[in-house]
Amino acid sequence: MKLSIVLSTQPASFKAIAYQGNLKRNIANIARLGYDGVELAVRDPKLLDFDMLEAALINSELPVPAIGTGQAYGEEGLSLTSRDEGIRSRAIKRVRSHAGLAAQLGAVVIIGLVRGKSEGGRKPQQTLDQLLESLRECARTNPGVKFAIEPINRYETDLVNTVASGLDLVNRLGLENVGLLLDTFHMNIEEPDMLASIRQARERLFHFHVADSNRWYPGAGHIDFKAILEVLNQIGYSGFVSAEILPLPDPATAAEKTIENMRALVA
Ligand code: LER
Ligand code: MN
């Protein structure tokens, strides 16, 4: 199992991120703990000192499996399904710029909250059609980059809550470079049988988030991570398992407990 953890490259109001703040020091800490990679949550690639980031990654020998994009929505309101064409086209432009960064780093682009939600009385089905168009525009212009749509629980968005609806969208798009990111926290809320849902995603599974049922580190709640790792193994998943967790009881303990508990499952 290749294990990574999410680091935000700038301050964010989204809470389930163990690392924020000093980028260089955080990357060094993640490497010191024994992680195999670092997932970056990036609001806007323009705000990044790429040379500094690259040097820190080379120094720590950490690859970047995925780039999170949700802060473009959370901090700036950019949505791939906005009814305001100006906002929607800025969101597409932003995701394309994330894709440029992802191409440089060999990472998957995460389509999480940047999808937005249905606005102004529009039905989810109509909004989904628009999401499809926006995703097509992003993915077609970056055929070498993988895009992973993340089913997110109903309390955060009304668009693509379940693995089945995620697969439906992926199939409708029919592009080789579009697949899914599954997150145990969301699946624990939405999926009747998480293991069966992971099996359904199979070769369309591009990335994987772990957090326990309470969004703390794995082992702090009631999700059966041993069974999950077995299923990932059975379906031949070779990507990263990435911890997107609350920094509780404190960031260092959360990161240490994650690696300790996840490694113990495969020992
Ligand atoms: C992001 O990966 C996620 O899980 C959402 O809850 C917020 O984007
Ligand atoms: Mn997630």
pLDDT tens per residue across span 55-85: 999 999 999 999 999 999 999 999 999 999 9
Residue 155 carries which DSSP code? T
Res. 13 pLDDT band, cuts 50 70 90: confident
pLDDT of 200: 98
- All structural domains of the chain: 2-265 (3.20.20.150)
pLDDT of 127: 96
CA distance 220 to 93: 39
The token pair that represents 152 in the structure block: 């997110």
pLDDT of 201: 98
Ligand 1 center from residue 15 Cα (angstroms): 10
Q: Atom 7, ligand 1: which residue's CA is nearest?
A: 113
The token pair that represents 106 in the structure block: 């060999």
pLDDT of 217: 98
- Among 195, 250, 190, which Cα is nearest to 217's? 250
Res. 87 pLDDT band, cuts 50 70 90: very high
Q: Other CB atoms closer than 10 Å to residue 111's CB: what's the count?
A: 29
pLDDT of 11: 85
Convert 236-246 to b/e letters by CB count within 10 Å (16 or more is b): ebebbbbbbbb
Res. 228 pLDDT band, cuts 50 70 90: very high
CA distance 192 to 183: 14
Q: What is the pTM of this model?
A: 0.97
Active site residue 150: yes
Res. 12 pLDDT band, cuts 50 70 90: confident
Convert 54-82 to b/e letters by CB count within 10 Å (16 or more is b): eebbeebebebbbbbbbbbbbeeebbbbb
What SS3 state is found at 37?
A: strand
Q: What is the mean pLDDT of residues 126-146?
A: 96
Q: What is the mean pLDDT of residues 218-238?
A: 98
- Catalytic choice (150, 156, 190, 191): 150
The token pair that represents 247 in the structure block: 């920094």
pLDDT of 21: 85
- For residue 164, which amino acid is it? A
Residue 51 carries which DSSP code? H
114 ligand 1 Cβ < 6 A: no
Verify cis geometry, omega within 30 degrees of 0, for the bond prior to 249: yes
- Among 231, 237, 236, 241, which Cα is nearest to 263's? 241
Best mutation site among 156, 160, 188, 207 for ligand 1 pocket (most ligand atoms within 8 Å of CB):
156
Best mutation site among 76, 152, 160 for ligand 1 pocket (most ligand atoms within 8 Å of CB):
152
Ligand 2 center from residue 151 Cα (angstroms): 8
CA-156 nearest atom, ligand 1: 6
Instruction: Tell me phi and psi for residue 12, to 5 degrees.
Output: -145, 150
Calculate the CA 106 to chain-centre distance. Answer: 15
Is the model's pLDDT at 15 over the cut of 90?
no
Res. 14 pLDDT band, cuts 50 70 90: confident
Is the model's pLDDT at 32 over the cut of 80?
yes
pLDDT of 20: 87
CA distance 63 to 42: 15
Is the model's pLDDT at 267 over the cut of 80?
no
CA-114 nearest atom, ligand 1: 8
Residues in the chain: 267
Q: Which residues contact 121 (CB under 8 A, 6 or more apart)?
A: none
Looking at the CA of 70, which ligand is closest? Answer: 1
Best mutation site among 115, 149, 159, 183 for ligand 1 pocket (most ligand atoms within 8 Å of CB):
183
- Among 130, 93, 96, which Cα is nearest to 115's? 130
Which residues sit with Cβ closer than 5 angstroms to ligand 2, an ion?
183, 209, 244
pLDDT of 233: 97
Tens of pLDDT along 151-179?
Answer: 999 999 999 999 999 999 999 999 999 99
Q: Which residues contact 197 (CB under 8 A, 6 or more apart)?
A: 162, 163, 164, 182, 187, 191
Ligand 2 center from residue 244 Cα (angstroms): 6
Res. 42 pLDDT band, cuts 50 70 90: very high
